[in-house]
Amino acid sequence: MQKPARPTPWGVGSVARLLVLAAAVLFPSPAPAETVLTFVTWKPNHPEVFDEAIRRFEAAHPGIRIRREVGPHSSTEFHDLLTQKLKNRDPSVDVFYVDVIWPAEFAAAGWVLPLDRFLSPQERRAFLEPALRAATYRGKIYGIPGWIDSGMLYYRKDLLAKYGFQPPKTWEELVRQAEVIVAGERSRNPGIHGYSGQFKQYEGLVCDMMEFILSNNGAILDETGRKAAIHRPEAVAAVRFVRDRIIGHIAPRGVLMYQEPESLDLFIQGNAVFHRNWPYAWEISNDPARSRVAGKVGIARLPAFEGGRSAAALGGWMLSISPFSRHPEEAWTFIRFMTSPQMQKFLAIRAGRAPARKALYRDPEVLRKNPQFRDQFQVFLTARPRPVSPVYPVLSNILQRYFSAAISNPRSDIEALARRAAWDMDRVLALAP
């Protein structure tokens, strides 16, 4: 009779495998940790568009979640919030928006990470040169342009046509047209004014006033970039023109408290003939849900003074990485996504943001939604930067106080104010590295 088979003894290896299996069942491995990036941004004009952009990123990169810290809309106030965090070497800050005027200051202070290792030469050539130049300090790139801005003149094309006018080429012509149109329309619209712009004491005031000064062959700094030029006759004459012919004349005195949103609101409510703003205002001005003048808006280059040339301040924003971030690689993944051709196209179509990538100015969908980009492209190529200096924030503060004092008081001594401001600027510039 055959003996029953004896049970096979368990070897050491079998026991080990069993223990591993049991441990896996009883103590499963934790899921890969999710990386949370803190993104410091300002309050956007199109919050729903930026909400969607973040959702798209998180869907494409499920291992990274974006925690947004939303600061004030004002560039000046946002700068103060951001620099305080960077001064404190806050490691929770990973990625943030940077105005085109900040790279030199941030780089000199060690508050921003160089991005050259992430950006190939081919990628660099894809961006508009002024936008990438604004991100560069001492040969290194400290931000990736998200979009570009420059000052533009918006106007009521229906009203200009009604009175037989073409878009003005000079500031004097703009004033004359505004006077005629306002006089003719006031009985139908008592609240109408000739002009709306940004004249509150903040960074936007520097942009607006610089455009007047440069278009009169004036300058903010001299040819060396180490001395002020705002006290020269051409610059003083431009400031005087704003005080005497714009503020309280064709523009309400309330513009002295206007930033972009307030100045745009006056225009889209049908209460301004001319309006200075950035490219994003086109989409809002022509949205029937938000604008009473949708379909009646034209856009043109800013005027110049007789003998001068149109000048538009370079604006725009870029994305940068904090050198104190614990997640620089993930932060770059976010920047690469947000500044990609697909997302710049998305922001152009949905938010009217002018792309920093050259190829998108040939994109049929972008141009169908933003036909004004055809004309704006040449302006973007020649937009004028504000002074590139690591001490620019101090220079801007001096300029803001000077311009505000000069244009808000009808009896201001502009020459004396300009000399004092130039002296203050020269002292600061002498200390610049």
Which pLDDT tens digits describe the chain residue by residue (433 residues)?
A: 444 455 445 455 555 555 545 455 555 555 457 899 999 998 887 899 999 999 999 999 999 999 999 998 888 889 999 999 999 999 999 999 999 999 999 999 999 999 999 999 999 999 999 899 899 999 999 999 999 999 999 999 999 999 999 999 999 999 999 999 999 999 999 999 999 999 999 999 999 999 999 999 999 999 999 999 999 999 999 999 999 999 999 999 999 999 999 999 999 999 999 999 998 899 899 999 999 999 999 999 999 999 999 999 999 999 999 999 999 999 999 999 999 999 999 999 999 899 999 999 999 999 999 998 988 898 898 899 998 889 999 999 999 999 999 999 999 999 999 999 999 999 999 998 7
pTM for this entry: 0.81
Classify strands 95-99 and 314-321 as parallel, antiparallel or unpaired. antiparallel
Would you tell me how many other CB atoms lie within 10 Å of the CB of residue 362? 11
For residue 152, is it left (φ>0), alpha (ψ between -120 and 50) or beta? beta
Give the residue carrying structure tokens 């009203």: 159
- Structural domains of the chain in order of their starting residue, each with its CATH number: 35-148+314-382 (3.40.190.10), 152-311+388-430 (3.40.190.10)
Answer whether 250's CB lies under 8 Å from 237's CB.
Answer: no
For 370, list phi and psi in degrees, rounded to 5: -130, 70
Amino acid residing at 382: T
Answer whether 271's CB lies under 8 Å from 193's CB.
Answer: yes
What residues are paired with 304 via a beta bridge?
Answer: 170
In angstroms, the CA 267 to CA 265 distance is 5
